[in-house]
Structure formats: structure tokens, C-alpha cells
Amino acid sequence: MSLSNDLVYPKVALTKNMELISGAHILYLYAEREMYWENILSFAATGLELQHQVVLLESAERIEKIKQQLARKGFSDEQIASIGLIDHRQFYDVHQSFETEKVLQELNASLQHYVARGAPIRIWSRVIWNEDTCCNKEIPLYEQKADAVLKPFHVFTVCAYDGNEVAANFSLQLMKGHSHIMTDNEIKSSPYYENKQKTPSLFMEDFLQEKVQHYKHVINEMPDAVFIFSGEKVVYGNYAALNMLKCKESDLRQATVWEIFAEVSHPIIQQNTEKLLRNGRVPLEEMQIKTYDGQILDVEVAAFPFSYDLQNDFTVILIIRSIQDRKAHQQLTIKTEKLSLAGQLAASIAHEVRNPLTSIKGFIKLAREDVMHEAYYTIIEEEIDRIETIASELLVLGKPMSVEMETCDAGKMLKDVSMLLQSQAVMRKVDIQYSEIEANCFIRCNAGQMKQVFINIIKNAIEAMENGGVIRTSAHLNGDKVEIIIKDEGKGMPESVLKKLGEPFYSTKEDGTGLGLMVCFNIVEQYEGTIRVESKVGEGTIFTIELPLFLS
């Protein structure tokens, strides 16, 4: 089988299992490193046996291993020395940027050198690039231009990419610049190749149809719902998808993604669509779908690009699993934990309130006997104040989250609170610094509650710094999170104390109730955030609050 009638080379074994007769530009998406290793060695060894010019672009470490393996196979030092061994990092210059034209010029110059020798050429290249400095769109464009450079010379070229790291949509773009697609075990012609009419098929059509039917049957029998969306429209749903939505296949083909998913999940769909369009990956998401009989189901959704229609490159496959049972179990667990916490809290309250009441009761008995000293009245007032403090903090703890939610800039709120508490801090020889505040740290919350969290933590920091010092507050974006950091130079806490933070009535202060921090943890948790506490005795404490970034 030949790619050209003008030039026919001797039979060339591409790998152990594949044979071709003329040049080809092959995209190799490898999955297993051992198979990759076997294929590159077979590629090089076969080339040497057929007296071809072999060029390998790999890492310097692997090049040395290839030499050793070829020597073990019985190839002479002269044969091994004839191989063009090039460090692929040097060739693609990934430490700077992927300059397409520069790499193409290097490729063309290298080809001219080998063409002059007259023997057939085979090139193996593991393509790499720096994702920080190179847009993914440049790589498929480079492969298409490289294909045009390689074609006149009938070179056997394998461009290897790690299939575990390449996004599906990105691999589809790569296929446009390669005449063939290769995996660890097989090879076939690329359906997306620009000049595919000139590309021979390596498999019989009926064999391909058999494969398609087999995979379709497997997908239909999957226990999880599988949907394929072309743009916004559903183009396929397996049996589990029909059962989940309680609809007929004809109904499903008329549906859109916005109709299937509940409105609360629409913002997540928009965000993930943008990520997929940028060749990014999206995590498993908890979302809600609407069935055709009006129910709302909690589901877990995995999404990734998929090829279904050549006219529409952006097609997405969703695998959806119901988590109704898991949610019900979680709710039961939460309810049980709440009951347990309520019991612990009731016991703690009884203990904390009983002590001042016992004191008050004793003093009242002395008053009745008219033997109470004037100073005892002050003690009674202090004990009553303590009961009032406990009651006030319990009311805050038990108060449900305000429904008055709004979009707030966490950085601005942190700065406002820091300025508010500055005068109080100065009295204790403490300076609150708030210069590291990044703009647009937007979160969805009740502003009053969030400010209360900042006030509680900063006040604790002030009180922990008996000899003065500096409190550093900062707010910045960290991916899809807003990170608020409050760092003091206080006396710090040992590990045994850190484990108990947030428990009711556990406090390192003599007159503390421990409810203040419990309120902070409760508020942040309700906003789907977390609080981390790091502390070293004698050095200070760091509170890190992470909250979801809200993009309007």
C-alpha cells in the first residue's frame, strides 16, 4: 500500500504489528509508558535493519537508555552512532516559548541534511511545549504546517503525545495535521486529516462499522446516564439517560442542555463550557436535572469534549450519575451529628451557666441574712454579665443565615474591619497592616455576618499579642477561590489546643466562652468555605479563610 505512485520505498515496519510502504505523518497518543518504550525501540531497530536514516527526538536520559537497549539487541556501535539523536527540549525550545516558524525552519534544515544522503528517512519525536508561555492553538497549527514540510520527502514521522495529559478537544485538533492516528496497540487513518482523500485506509470499512456498533452497545448498557450534546442540543442519550429523565428517545432529541438541567445549575454549565472551549478540564460537579415528570434530581456530572459531528468541532459528552441516595444519607448523617452536637452543647451550657448561678445563689442567701459585703455585689454583676454573654453568643450561633445575600468584595470588607479595629489595636501596641488586598475578591454572602467573622478573628489576634506586634491581613484570588489570611505575632498555640478550636466553651482566655470562633466556623461553612489554622508556640498564629469566588 503506497501513499504515492511516484516514489515507492522498501517495506517498512512501523512498529511490531504495523506495516506501511511509503511515508506517513502519524499522531501517537500513548497511554502506557512501557508500550511507548517498546514502540520507540521497535521503530529504531526496524529502521537500522532496513538501513534507513533514523532520527529520534527524545529526552537526553531516554536517548542514553535507547542506545543501551539497541546495543543489547546486537546492533554495532557504528549502527547506533548513525542514528540522529536530538534532545527534544533543545529542538522545541520549551524553556522560552514554542515559536512555530523557528521550529519549522529547524525541521526543514534537518530534512535537507538527511535527504542529501539518499536513504529513506524515519523520524520519531515526542512533542513538548511550555503551557505557561504557549497557547495550545499553536501546536495543532504547527503540526499542520509540519505535515506540509514533510510530505514531499515521504518521511515516516511519528509525533508522540502523552494521551493521559492531552485533552480530548486538543487531540481532535491535532488529528487534522496527521494522516494517521496511532495508539499503543493499533493504527488507523485520521478521519479529520485535511488531505484525507489521499490517505489510504488501514482497516476495512466493515471492521470499523463493527467496532462502532460494539462501542455503541457498550455505552447503551452502561449503568450511568450518557448524553452527547452538540452545541446546546442533545444528539444522543443511552438507555440509562432515558430512564433517568423518564422520557422517550424522540423527546430527548428535541431537548437542550438548559431544559434538562435545573436553573440553579446553569451558571456551572456556562463556566465549564468556557473551560472546555479553552481545552481545559473540568472536575466532577454536583448539579440538578429536571425529569419529564417534574422531579428535581441531584446528580454528579463528568464532562469532556467529544467528536460526533465533523461540522461541529465542539461536542461534549456528559456522564451523569444520580446521587439521591448519597444525599439522603448525608442529610441523615448531618441530622445525627446535629443532635449529638446539641446534646454536647446543652451539657456545656448547663455547666457554664450553673457556676455563676451557684455563686449568685450563695450571695443572695448572704443578703437575706444581711451579712453580705458591698464587694460581693460587684461579683454578682460580673456573674450576671457572663450569663448574658453566653446567651448573646448562643443567639448568634443559633440564628439562621440571613436571606439577604449579596455580592461582596471580601478584600474591601477585610480592609474596613482592619481600619475599624486599628484604634483598639493601638491601645495594645499592635499595628494592623492591610496593604496586601487584591481587588475583585468577590464572594456571595451576608456582609454583616462576614464582617463578624473578620472582627472575631482579628480581636482574638490582638488579645493574643500581650507584648504588641504586627497583625498582617491579606486577601487575594487563588484559582476559583478567594483566600483571606490573618496572621499575628502572638504567643501561638500547641497542637493539642488547635484540635479543640471551634468547640463550644473551649477557650484559651480566662473569661472566654469559645463560642466566638464556633460562630466563625459556622458562618464560613454555610458559605461553602473553610477555615484553616496554623500556629507555632512563641511565633504566632495564621488563620486562612477560603471562600468560593463568585463570578457574576
Where b means 16+ CB within 10 Å and e means fewer, 34-56 reads eebeebbbbbbbbbbebebbbbb
Model confidence pLDDT, tens digit, residues 83-108: 888 888 777 765 455 566 777 777 77
Of 510, 412, 414, 399, nearest to 456 by C-alpha is 414
- The domain 400-552 is placed in CATH, from the list 3.30.565.10, 3.40.50.300, 3.20.20.70, 3.20.20.140, at 3.30.565.10
For residue 139, what are the contacts with CB-CB under 8 A and spacing of at least 6? 98, 127, 129, 170, 174
pLDDT value, residue 137: 67
Segments of the chain scoring below 50 in pLDDT: 1-13, 16-19, 95, 133-134, 196-208, 308-311, 397, 401-402, 505-507, 510-514
| Cα–Cα distance measured from residue 224 to residue 234, given in angstroms and rounded to the nearest whole number | 16
CA 262 to chain centre: 24
| Cα–Cα distance measured from residue 472 to residue 245, given in angstroms and rounded to the nearest whole number | 52
Backbone angles phi, psi at 129, to 5 degrees: -155, 165
430: cell is: 499592635
| Cα–Cα distance measured from residue 508 to residue 492, given in angstroms and rounded to the nearest whole number | 11
Of 333, 544, 318, 381, nearest to 453 by C-alpha is 544
- SS3 call for 393: helix
Matching residue, cell 457572663: 386
- SS3 call for 7: coil
551: cell is: 463570578
Residues 160/30, Cβ–Cβ less than 8 Å: yes
Q: Which residues make beta-bridge pairs with 436? A: 474
128: cell is: 513538548
Of 188, 357, 191, 169, nearest to 278 by C-alpha is 169
pLDDT value, residue 428: 85
46: cell is: 526496524
523: cell is: 458562618
What is 210-322's CATH topology?
Beta-Lactamase (3.30.450)
Of 394, 397, 386, nearest to 355 by C-alpha is 386
Instruction: Say which DSSP state 312 is in.
Output: B
pLDDT value, residue 409: 92
Backbone angles phi, psi at 304, to 5 degrees: -160, 155
Rg for the chain, CA atoms, rounded: 34
| Cα–Cα distance measured from residue 253 to residue 269, given in angstroms and rounded to the nearest whole number | 19
Burial class (CB in 10 A: 0-12, 13-18, 19+), 532: exposed
Matching residue, cell 492531552: 166
∠ CA 401-402-408, rounded to 5°: 105
Matching residue, cell 456556562: 270
User: In CATH, what number does 12-203 get?
Assistant: 3.40.50.300
CA 303 to chain centre: 13
Where b means 16+ CB within 10 Å and e means fewer, 291-310 reads eeeeeebbbebebebbbeee
Burial class (CB in 10 A: 0-12, 13-18, 19+), 123: buried
Model confidence pLDDT, tens digit, residues 279-315: 777 888 889 999 998 899 999 998 888 754 444 557 8
pTM across the whole model: 0.40
pLDDT value, residue 410: 92
Residues 474/415, Cβ–Cβ less than 8 Å: no
pLDDT value, residue 359: 76
For residue 176, what are the contacts with CB-CB under 8 A and spacing of at least 6? 140, 143, 144, 190, 192, 193, 194
Domain range annotation of the chain? 12-203, 210-322, 400-552
